[in-house]
Amino acid sequence: MFPRRIAAIAAAIVVLGGAIAIASPGVLFPNPIAQVSKEFRERSKEDWLRDLNLTPAQLQKIEAIRNRYKNDLTQQRQAVQQAQKELRAMLAGDTPADQVRQKYNEVRTLKQQLANSRFNSLLETREVLNLDQRKKFAERMRHQRREFRERFKDRME
């Protein structure tokens, strides 16, 4: 009888531990892919800045541009994500079509505002660069777009 009780307690601990790990995997096991991705983005950012041979003054101006847009871009991304989440819920539920269409238009508008902010930031950054640096930057952007398409081409089909 005693070994059965121990086995039952052990099984309960294993089941509860598994349920906790499934419910919140980031608590027990941080997402290594997200960490690697963040590290890659940071390293990639440093690489392109170094490849452009920027002067200290240019670096300072670019950092100021980034800082000026950072909060707005973050808020706009969050607004897009929230609106998309609401749209998915509306599509899955019994929300009338006209309300779903309104939410879709809101998502589209928010995405356009985000794209405009990104583009404005890009234009301001472009103004800091000389002609050779702009050419290198444009080539790097083309290269990143090609890599992105290659990496996700199976998802796009």
- Shared domain check, 69 and 26: no
Number of domains observed in the structure of the chain: 2
- Shared domain check, 98 and 60: yes
Give the number of other Cβ atoms within 10 Å of residue 72's Cβ. Answer: 14
Has residue 129 got a pLDDT over 80?
Answer: yes
Q: Tens digits of per-residue pLDDT, 66-99?
A: 999 999 999 999 999 999 999 999 999 999 999 9
- Shared domain check, 62 and 26: no
- In degrees, to the nearest 5, what angle opens at C-alpha 21 toward C-alphas 15 and 24? 135
* Structural domain for 88, as ranges: 31-156
pLDDT tier at 36, thresholds 50, 70, 90? very low
- Shared domain check, 95 and 22: no
pLDDT tier at 49, thresholds 50, 70, 90? confident
pTM tops 0.75: no
